[in-house]
Structure 1
């Protein structure tokens, strides 16, 4: 896997040749096998940055993990893993190996030092090779820890982490109408890979799964395409599979105050889990849409259910897409123009104690079922500072009252604690390099 460029610690662009030269020099001195290497691809500052293009590379290191406030890419491959080991040291070794591989793949490099066509001839390659020759494609890889990492279903503290579990990290409740499938729900660890090229995203998860063999196994995975929300003011609001613009009021990366208040865990939020400061909580929900039933609904009914026009996305109270809905405005019959049980009204911050979320959802299509109906819908992904305040009350309200619920089936669910990023300049890889979640295991 190759990349035409990235940035150095000062924000300047660097060439693919310079990246390969740095990696090669590190391998030649034995750094990758010992103390680890420092990738010069890291961009200084809190937020990873990249210019818009499939060849651009986002820094893996930084105060926060990439793939949260990063402008949402076009493709997703998310996978949850169950740990098959009972040894804490094995988990740490896996996170070290994952961190090193992720730091390379996000820069357009192979997952391992040798690559798909080199290394010992009688051993499997340390990269699977299907992304060889492809650019970095804006790949970000984000890691999270599930409640079961701290105590499993039998209540066992397998890895001595129970005392450091964040108070907010609990399995999401069973919401009204949920039809959850165990094989699509939960997981000790989660990996979110986002990129502009689906093969690059799939390659990332495939290689992390390969590295995890013997320590963790995939519990479920989900491919997503066509982002359904924007995380930057530079992005237009996309449409979901019902044909409507989705996530207009989503928190944007440029809203510094909103990102601080609603996305990043702050120091002092949870003294028992101080390691989470600078991190966030990832909510994922697999929501099957009853496409065929929706397609037979009249346009008037569709717009009433959503609360927006289907063409422009403007609220039914008037204006343009980004006009604030006027929920008090009524028609000649005295009925509010934006229905009280519409999706827009129930999901709006004014109906949720002013709370907002950062959404990174994707459309999905997983073929058809036995009746010939599309198994398709929304793979909802959100990052929040406090799931108990920002997500759970809103979803309870939507599940109970939203007119759209008639057309939705929630089949998968999960909540994970996403730790802060690996510090810029840290040595990665080897037996003593920095890794994601280090403060949890060693703090």
Structure 2
């Protein structure tokens, strides 16, 4: 083991304990603890989110404004090195989420002749609500690390959906990290430092920057808008929905692999929007496609955003206000066996495609207890019938098993899987 690794391992885990104490103070002052359904809310854009808890932060945590998502491929074939990496990552994450530098010696406190323990671009910045959430892709459960028998049944491949135009180079991955924060520099700093720590053991497969959250995960948040101009995620699962979260979000004992208890399954989809074509569509057509009013966000035939959707309501001509191919009808739990998702999507703009068209859309992320009982039937219905399909294209896909939270400074991401 190199001196660099041993030094980080020696001091990093101890520093994580200090971060844990700080996180505990935050939670206790809020009168709550951990990352459960009633986890302490982020009071402002500068606050730190507790790192330790029953569930990973960044799932029911009130959605922050910025995202840096990355998928890694593991390039070592030694399980001990993978296990050690997860310990080092956890120690760094515990520090960074509390507004501290990634390593014990920081950006400027180490030996001048050695690389710094932190890249330094977040020096002087607050925690900014940073959360780091880790998941494991199906490809990690091959024969490299002896994990095949520990692959959850829920990690069976997603089917090919009608209309998919997936690019393999921006899909899948062995490990994902979701960094959410109110400051984009804080999120980018976190991912950059995890990639730096992982050098020689992981490589970046693909990554995605996002802005302007497209869903709310708390009733304290206003509903945001997507790049088509519509409010998005009105009926999303919220952290206040404790009974629904237990039923629809968190993996329960007996669901399958014990190491996933308290965790959740993440589906990612990069959905490109043909915004130039959409922008030429009449307002009435846009509203019919979504099944909602563009201004208030109310279901067609109703007045307010949160009015219950009435699929039986008809206009003066006797026609349904909400058509059979409207997005809201096809995605609604009542149309999908009461399947719910907790969405944490973000808008993205990745420049242009070289033909003068914006490469823009939605980076969709959804957490659930079982993707094959929740996401798959919903997406099959949408892919087959949604009028919105004329204006969108799915170009990447990912499925990741996100285990339960890190309990304390002696725990680390993936411990119950790798040991």
Hey, what's the Cα distance between the residues in 2 that align with 1:288 and 1:201? 23
Match of 1:78 among 69, 78, 84: 69
**2:360 aligned with 1:372:** no
Residue number in structure 1 paired with 2:411: 434
**2:379 aligned with 1:395:** yes
Hey, what's the Cα distance between the residues in 1 that align with 2:226 and 2:403? 29
Deviations 1:333-376 (A, max 9, x none): 32211011000000011101111110000000000111100000
Count matched residues. Answer: 400
Match of 2:54 among 63, 68, 73: 63
**2:316 aligned with 1:339:** no
Q: Residues 63, 182 of structure 1: CA spacing in aligned structure 2 closer, same or farther, 3 A cutoff?
A: same
**2:195 aligned with 1:209:** yes
Hey, what's the Cα distance between the residues in 1 that align with 2:244 and 2:45? 28
- The Cα of 1:319 is off from its aligned counterpart by 2.6
Match of 1:352 among 336, 352, 366: 336
Match of 2:243 among 245, 257, 264: 257
Q: What secondary structure sits across from 1:58 in the alignment?
A: coil
- The Cα of 1:434 is off from its aligned counterpart by 2.1
Residue number in structure 2 paired with 1:23: none
Match of 2:132 among 114, 138, 141: 141
TM-score by length of structure 2 reads: 0.93
**Counterparts of 1:150-229 in structure 2 under 5 Å?**
150-151=141-142, 157-229=143-215
Residue number in structure 1 paired with 2:4: none
TM-score by length of structure 1 reads: 0.88
- The Cα of 1:419 is off from its aligned counterpart by 0.5
Residue number in structure 1 paired with 2:270: 286
* RMSD across aligned positions (CA): 1.4
Hey, what's the Cα distance between the residues in 1 that align with 2:43 and 2:50? 14
Hey, what's the Cα distance between the residues in 1 that align with 2:306 and 2:14? 51
Asked whether the 8 Å contact 1:171–1:414 carries over to 2, the reply is no
In the alignment, structure 2 segments of 5+ residues that lack a partner are: 1-6, 28-32
- The Cα of 1:301 is off from its aligned counterpart by 0.3
Residue number in structure 2 paired with 1:14: none
Q: Residues 85, 354 of structure 1: CA spacing in aligned structure 2 closer, same or farther, 3 A cutoff?
A: same
In the alignment, structure 1 segments of 5+ residues that lack a partner are: 1-27, 152-156, 428-432
Deviations 1:368-424 (A, max 9, x none): 11110000000001100010011001001101100001100100100000000111x
Hey, what's the Cα distance between the residues in 1 that align with 2:262 and 2:67? 23
Asked whether the 8 Å contact 2:290–2:326 carries over to 1, the reply is yes
Asked whether the 8 Å contact 2:259–2:403 carries over to 1, the reply is yes
Hey, what's the Cα distance between the residues in 1 that align with 2:317 and 2:117? 68
**2:23 aligned with 1:42:** yes
- The Cα of 1:328 is off from its aligned counterpart by 0.7
Deviations 1:219-245 (A, max 9, x none): 000000000000000001000000000
Hey, what's the Cα distance between the residues in 1 that align with 2:411 and 2:82? 14
Hey, what's the Cα distance between the residues in 2 that align with 1:204 and 1:34? 17
Asked whether the 8 Å contact 1:317–1:327 carries over to 2, the reply is no
